[in-house]
Amino acid sequence: MIRIAIAGAAGKMGMRVIALAHASDRYDLVAALEATGSPEVGRDAGERAGIGRLHLPIQDRTQTEFDVLIDFTSPAGTMHWLDYCLVARRPIVIGTTGHSETELAAIRQAAGTIPIVKSSNMSVGINLLLRLVGQIAGALGEEYDIEIVETHHRFKRDAPSGTALAFVEAIVEATGRSRHHDVIHGRHGILEERPRRQIGVHALRVGDTIGEHEVHFGNLGETIVLRHSAHTRDTFARGALRAAEWVVRQPPGLYSMQDVLGMSP
């Protein structure tokens, strides 16, 4: 069994990881973690996740040995638990999004010491679309406009979503566009005619929407739309557990869900 520590144990994603890991005979939950000062510290992780008492208290640190840590916290939380894993020489699966360039550089540096899976989206379907989006954008060429629309719940703090930015990256790599000059985030006012190479990115925050992404390709004669809708957070929790099971067997390095799923070029 793989001994798992979960950071962000009282969050929406952390609770689902706890529930699914507990329901499986492949994982052993050994640590449920939250930030120092969190009112959740001291509560039973199972009760917090709605699956009954596990006799596993939520803590802000642990001395328990673990094989891998799954992080669904905040950018600052990732940095804290990344340092924790560096000291313990244990791999980490990062599902948190919204990291700054400085934080991303720290993650890349840490990957020289420990294996890290970092993904903006742990869904199998989304990772398949990431491959397809690049292929389609490269095949269609500049005659097709590209627009990305993402919708999430009102509580999501970073915008656009990490997944939308991953779509941008896939398109940029496939077409030679510039992420600095060809990407626009939203529109308002009276604008000039849409530039041919432009990639439009739009973020919606509505109610309790778990996650929806659309990539539109259109010219003056037709429109192609790729759409993914997540119906439950279990989609991402299962992906995170799959990544944890995979990364414990890897050497130091920075990996993505494409690597975990065997879809890397």
Active-site residues, by number, are 152, 156
Amino acid (one-letter) located at 257? M
Alpha-carbon distance 38 to 28, whole Å?
24
Please report, for residues 48, 85, 168, the alpha-carbon distance to residue 161 in angstroms, rounded to integers and kept in the order given. Answer: 27, 26, 11
For residue 174, give the nearest of 120, 207, 135 by alpha carbon: 135
How many residues in the chain?
265
CB-based contacts of 174, cutoff 8 Å, min separation 6: 133, 134, 135, 137, 138
* CB distance 238 to 256 below 8 Å: no
Amino acid (one-letter) located at 90? R
Alpha-carbon distance 16 to 20, whole Å?
6
Is 140 in a helix, a strand, or coil?
helix
Output phi, psi for 115, to 5 deg: -75, 135
Please report, for residues 15, 152, 182, the alpha-carbon distance to residue 233 in angstroms, rounded to integers and kept in the order given. Answer: 10, 12, 32
Is 186 in a helix, a strand, or coil?
coil
Amino acid (one-letter) located at 14? G
